[in-house]
Amino acid sequence: MPPLDLDAALARVASRRGVLGERLVYLVETPSTNDAAATLAARGAAEGTVVLAEAQTQGRGRLGRTWHSPAGAGLYLSVVFRPAAGGPGGGAAADVARLMTLMAGVAVADGIRRVTGLPVDIKWPNDLVVGRPPRKLAGLLAEASTVSGRIEFVILGIGLNLAPAAYPPDIADRATSLESELGRGVDAVAVLAETLAALGEGYADLKQGRAREMLDRWRALAPFAQGSAVEWESPRGLVRGTTEGIDEEGALVVRVGNRRERVIAGEVHWH
C-alpha cells in the first residue's frame, strides 16, 4: 500500500506535474524500479507512469554499480518518459533524452530545496550532494530504449536517501541522507510530490525548446562544474584538468593544459 497521503499530495501539485504520477505502481520490494518501469513501458505503459518501491534488492547505478536501497531508508522510483510521442520529431526527442539527467538533477535539487530548505548541489552528471567535502544524497539513472535508432522511451530512476542506513564502509563515509543533514524527520511524501512537480515542469521546458533556462539553473546549482580538479581515463591514458562548466549539450567542459576537452560519458574523478 502506498502512503495514504500520497494521493492528496499529488493532487496538490497536479497542474505542475502534468501526467507524471497519473499512474503509480507501488512495490514493497523489487530488484530495480528501473527494470520494473522498463518492463511496463515495453508493454505500453503510458508516459508519466511511476514505479515506487519501498526497497530494491538489485538497485543499480551507472556502469554496473550498485545503488544501496534498504527498506524504508530512501525514495526509490522510476518514471517513464516518451519524448518522441506526439510532439517533437526524432531529433528533438534525442535532444530531450540527452538532457534528461541534467534536467532531473535540477528538478530533484529544487524539489528538496523547496520542501526542506537544504542547500543541495548537483555534481555532474548525475549526483546530488551536500556540504564540503560533498556527500552523496541522491543519484539519477536515465536509460533510453531505442528501436531502429528511434527513442521508444526513457526511464529515469531516482534514488534519494531519506534516513541513515547501514551502508558498506566505503560508501558510509561518502553518503548522507535528508534526516542526517537536517537533524529531523522529513515529509517524504511532500519531497516526492514536489520532485514530480519539478520534473513535470522541467520536462515540459525541454520539450518546448527551453533547454537554455534549464541549463542556466543547472549551472547555478552546480558549483563544482567550475574550477574543480578532475581526472578521467581516456584512450590516451589518464587525463587531468580543471572544470570550466557545461556546454549546451550538457557535456562537461574541462581545461587540459592549453586546450579544452568535452567529456560526455564515462567516469570522472573529482578532487
> Which residue in 17, 60, 82, 207 binds ligand BT5 (CB under 6 A)?
60
- Smallest CA-to-CA distance from 80 within 32, 11, 21, 139 is with 21
Can residue 269 be called a binding residue for ligand BT5 (CB under 6 A)? no
CB of 127 to ligand BT5, least distance (A): 6
Report the DSSP pairing between strands 50-56 and 24-30: parallel
Query: What type of residue sits at position 228?
Result: S
Can residue 30 be called a binding residue for ligand BT5 (CB under 6 A)? no
d(CA 79, CA 267): 24
> Which residue in 9, 17, 25, 67 binds ligand BT5 (CB under 6 A)?
67
Q: Which residue is nearest to ligand BT5 (CB)?
A: 139
Stretch that binds ligand BT5, among 6-14, 132-140, 219-227, 235-243 (CB under 6 A): 132-140
C-alpha cell at 106: 535540477
Can residue 105 be called a binding residue for ligand BT5 (CB under 6 A)? no
> Which residue in 20, 34, 106, 116 binds ligand BT5 (CB under 6 A)?
34
> Which residue in 12, 16, 113, 136 binds ligand BT5 (CB under 6 A)?
136
d(CA 123, CA 95): 21
Judged by DSSP in three states, 13 sits in: coil
Burial class (CB in 10 A: 0-12, 13-18, 19+), 216: exposed
C-alpha distance across the termini of the chain, in Å: 43
Can residue 68 be called a binding residue for ligand BT5 (CB under 6 A)? yes
Can residue 61 be called a binding residue for ligand BT5 (CB under 6 A)? yes
Q: Are 20 and 196 in contact (CB under 8 A)?
A: yes
Can residue 161 be called a binding residue for ligand BT5 (CB under 6 A)? yes
Measured from the CB atom, the residue of 46 and 171 that comes closer to ligand BT5 is 171
SS3 content of the chain, % helix, strand, coil (to 5): 35, 30, 35
Can residue 123 be called a binding residue for ligand BT5 (CB under 6 A)? no
Locate the DSSP E strands across 49-173: 50-56, 74-81, 121-123, 127-130, 135-147, 150-161
Q: What are the Cα distances from residue 86, in Å, to 21, 59, 198? A: 19, 32, 22
CB of 59 to ligand BT5, least distance (A): 4
d(CA 136, CA 121): 10
Measured from the CB atom, the residue of 27 and 190 that comes closer to ligand BT5 is 27
Q: How many residues bind ligand BT5 (CB under 6 A)?
A: 28
Can residue 124 be called a binding residue for ligand BT5 (CB under 6 A)? no
Stretch that binds ligand BT5, among 6-14, 115-123, 134-142, 207-215 (CB under 6 A): 134-142
Can residue 32 be called a binding residue for ligand BT5 (CB under 6 A)? yes
> Which residue in 12, 62, 114, 219 binds ligand BT5 (CB under 6 A)?
62
Can residue 197 be called a binding residue for ligand BT5 (CB under 6 A)? no
